[in-house]
Structure 1
Amino acid sequence: MPKMSMTIPHQLGEQEALSRIQGMLRDVKEQYGDRITDLHEQWSGNSGDFSFKAMGFALAGKIEARESEVAINGELPWAAKPFQGTIEATIRERAERLLRP
Structure 2
Amino acid sequence: MPGFKVEVPHPLGQEEAASRVKSLLEHLRGRFDGQVKDMQQTWTEEDVMQFSFKTAGLTIKGEMDVQPNSVVVSGDLPFAAMLFKGRIESSIKEELAKCLSEPA
Q: Give me the TM-score of the superposition, normalised by structure 2.
A: 0.91
**CA distance in 2 between partners of 1:24 and 1:3 (Å):** 23
User: Any idea what the Cα deviations from partners look like across 1:29-79, whole Å, max 9, x if unmatched?
Assistant: 211112101000101221110111122211010011111101111111111
CA RMSD of aligned residues (A): 1.1
**CA distance in 1 between partners of 2:85 and 2:37 (Å):** 19
Q: Contact 2:6–2:92 (CA<8 Å) still a contact in 1?
A: no
Which residue in the other structure is 2:8 paired with? 8
Q: Contact 2:58–2:78 (CA<8 Å) still a contact in 1?
A: yes
Which residue in the other structure is 2:74 paired with? 73
Gaps (5+ residues) in structure 1?
none
**CA distance in 2 between partners of 1:36 and 1:26 (Å):** 13
**CA distance in 2 between partners of 1:22 and 1:2 (Å):** 26
Q: Measure how far apart 1:16 and its partner are.
A: 0.4
Q: Contact 2:47–2:65 (CA<8 Å) still a contact in 1?
A: yes
Gaps (5+ residues) in structure 2?
none
Which stretch of structure 1 is more off in the superposition, 8-17 or 23-32? 23-32
Which residue in the other structure is 1:47 paired with? 48
Which residue in the other structure is 1:38 paired with? 38
**CA distance in 2 between partners of 1:23 and 1:79 (Å):** 30
The one-letter amino acid of 1:10's match is H
Q: Among the aligned pairs, what percent are the same residue?
A: 33
Which residue in the other structure is 2:22 paired with? 22
**CA distance in 1 between partners of 2:89 and 2:49 (Å):** 18
